[in-house]
């Protein structure tokens, strides 16, 4: 399960329906062109928190059907509705996903015992492994080393998608739990995380920059830090321009520029203006 995983985008039509043809094209582009090791399906980048349970199932179906066994697949099933998370975990396990993942429950200020019960309830329902999705900036859930350790006591919890800039905590987790998988979640900090010996990364920009991200990771693993730093600099130039223009819609426009039917973002996300579309195409021309 080690390696680089794309936080997979989903193609939607203008009414917000899943565009199956476009989704299949995104899957194939990531596998065949970006050459990533796996796909992380229905995470934040897939606009998961804007879609219905049935749409999530549809996306899980299409991705598994298109990808087959070409790459590893991780299904993000986390939801505020625990019954839905359990149902989705069972669904993707039956589909043959290699692992599940679940964001920490958010919005309500759940205490740690409630968070632990949430993960255990999901895992009690399936014969599958789970990767914690920790993204404190969006969930407001900050867990310490001891709390990660409590979650790791469940043998089915095999690792964490660590999307936080607290690299002191990252190093402590790596040192304390060498057998657990740690995936870096910030594309712009991939080199820094790789130096701390993470097992891989899961990133939004890998949809268009996966090959370069993999290069950073492999150079760092080989101790070629200066070379990796140069590739990270080029990558961060790209990321800075994407962020300035609007993260998700810009990545989708870049995919369209590459002849991938990436569709539209779901509302209330806004579409790019014509000026934004032009900028996205210019970003692709300069950097990709």
Beta carbons within 8 Å of 172's beta carbon, 6+ residues apart = 145
> How does 30-67 read in b/e, with b if 16+ C-beta sit within 10 Å?
bbeebebbbbbbbbbbbbbebbeeebbbbbbebbbebb
Catalytic residue among 133, 183, 248, 257: 133
Residue for token pair 């087959």: 68
Active site residue 40: no
What is the CA angle 144-148-150, rounded to 5?
115
Q: Contact, 175 vs 149, CB < 8 A?
A: no
Report how far residue 248's alpha carbon sits from residue 39's, in angstroms, rounded to the nearest whole number: 17
Is 133 considered catalytic here? yes
208, two tokens: 């268009």
56, 64, 72, 161: the catalytic one is: 161
Is 166 in a helix, a strand, or coil?
Answer: coil
Tell me the sheet residues that pair with 202.
Answer: 5
Burial annotation 191-221 (CB, 10 A radius, 16+ → b, else e): bbbbebebbbbbbbbbbbbbebbbbbbebbe
Residues tagged in the binding site annotation for aceneuramate:
44-45, 163, 185, 187-188, 204
As to burial, measured by CB atoms within 10 angstroms (0-12 exposed, 13-18 middle, 19+ buried), residue 118 is: buried
Task: Tell me the two tokens of residue 202.
Answer: 């899961």
Residue 178, CA atoms < 13 Å, CB-side half-sphere: 1
User: Which residues are part of a known binding site?
Assistant: 44-45, 163, 185, 187-188, 202, 204
**Omega before 156 within 30 of 0, i.e. cis:** no
Residues serving a catalytic function are 133, 161
């Amino acid at each position: 399960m080690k390696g680089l995983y794309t936080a997979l985008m989903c193609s939607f039509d203008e009414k917000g329906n899943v565009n199956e043809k476009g989704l299949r094209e995104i899957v194939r582009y990531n596998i065949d062109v970006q050459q990533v090791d796996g796909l992380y399906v229905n995470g934040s980048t897939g606009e998961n928190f804007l879609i219905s349970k049935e749409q999530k199932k549809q996306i899980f179906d299409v991705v598994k059907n298109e990808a087959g066994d070409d790459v590893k697949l991780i299904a993000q099933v986390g939801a505020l509705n625990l019954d839905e998370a359990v149902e989705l975990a069972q669904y993707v396990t039956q589909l043959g996903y290699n692992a599940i993942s679940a964001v920490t429950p958010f919005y309500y200020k759940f205490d740690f015992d409630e968070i632990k019960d949430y993960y255990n309830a999901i895992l009690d329902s399936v014969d599958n492994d789970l990767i914690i999705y920790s993204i404190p900036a969006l969930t407001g859930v900050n867990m310490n080393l001891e709390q990660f350790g409590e979650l790791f006591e469940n043998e089915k919890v095999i690792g964490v998608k660590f999307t936080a800039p607290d690299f002191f905590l990252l190093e402590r987790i790596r040192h304390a739990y060498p057998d657990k998988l740690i995936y870096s979640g910030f594309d712009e900090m991939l080199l820094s995380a790789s130096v701390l010996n993470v097992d891989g990364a899961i990133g939004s920009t890998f949809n268009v920059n996966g090959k370069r991200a993999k290069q950073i990771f492999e150079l760092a693993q080989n101790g070629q830090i200066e070379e990796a730093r140069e590739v990270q600099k080029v990558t961060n130039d790209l990321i800075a321009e994407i962020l300035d223009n609007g993260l998700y819609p810009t990545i989708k426009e870049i995919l369209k520029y590459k002849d991938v039917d990436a569709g539209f973002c779901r509302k209330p996300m806004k579409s790019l203006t014509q000026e934004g579309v032009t900028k996205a195409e210019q970003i692709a021309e300069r950097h990709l």
